């Protein structure tokens, strides 16, 4: 992959989407709760709301509902309503959502290989800049 700087020939800033073509994907996939929701659905398969809430610890019901609606709107999650007593709703990752799995796997590899280096860099920086 080749990285390119943004900007026009006359020095004016480029359209943000052109300056960083992955920006819309980052906004779509890497919000605070989106990644754990997609990861959980990819790892554990179809989940009822309560199961998903238990697995994505610390998320509030309101935020989980909002994120699931947005993910459904974006085509990354499918919601299935079963008209039973009591009603049952299940969520599952779509093929489009599942297509993000290699991206998540790559990030998991990078994380395992590099987070300790990031932590060392932070400690070194904090030690140098701390009063």
Beta-bridged to residue 47, according to DSSP, are 91
Which three-class secondary structure state does DSSP give residue 3?
coil
pLDDT digit string, tens, across residues 21-31: 888 888 888 88
67 versus 2: the higher-pLDDT residue is 67
pLDDT at 10 (0 to 100): 58
pLDDT at 25 (0 to 100): 83
Task: Report angle CA 14, 18, 20 to the nearest 5 degrees.
Answer: 105
Q: Tell me, yes or no, if the pTM score tops 0.95.
A: no
State the first-to-last Cα distance of the chain, in angstroms, to the nearest integer: 41
pLDDT digit string, tens, across residues 48-105: 999 999 999 899 999 999 999 999 999 999 999 999 998 899 999 999 999 998 988 8
Least confident window among 2-16, 57-71, 117-131: 2-16
Is the domain spanning 20-99 CATH 3.40.250.10? The answer is no
């Amino acid at each position: 992959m080749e990285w390119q700087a943004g900007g026009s020939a006359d020095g004016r800033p480029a359209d943000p989407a052109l300056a960083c073509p992955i920006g819309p994907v980052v906004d779509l996939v890497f919000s605070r709760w989106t990644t754990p929701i997609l990861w959980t659905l990819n790892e554990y398969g179809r989940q009822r709301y309560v199961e998903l809430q238990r697995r994505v610890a610390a998320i509030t019901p309101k935020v989980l509902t909002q994120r699931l609606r947005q993910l459904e709107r974006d085509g990354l999650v499918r919601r299935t309503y079963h008209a039973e007593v009591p009603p049952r709703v299940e969520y599952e990752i779509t093929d489009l959502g599942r297509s993000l799995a290699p991206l998540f796997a790559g990030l998991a590899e990078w994380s395992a290989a590099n987070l300790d280096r990031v932590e060392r860099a932070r400690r070194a920086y904090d030690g140098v800049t701390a009063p």
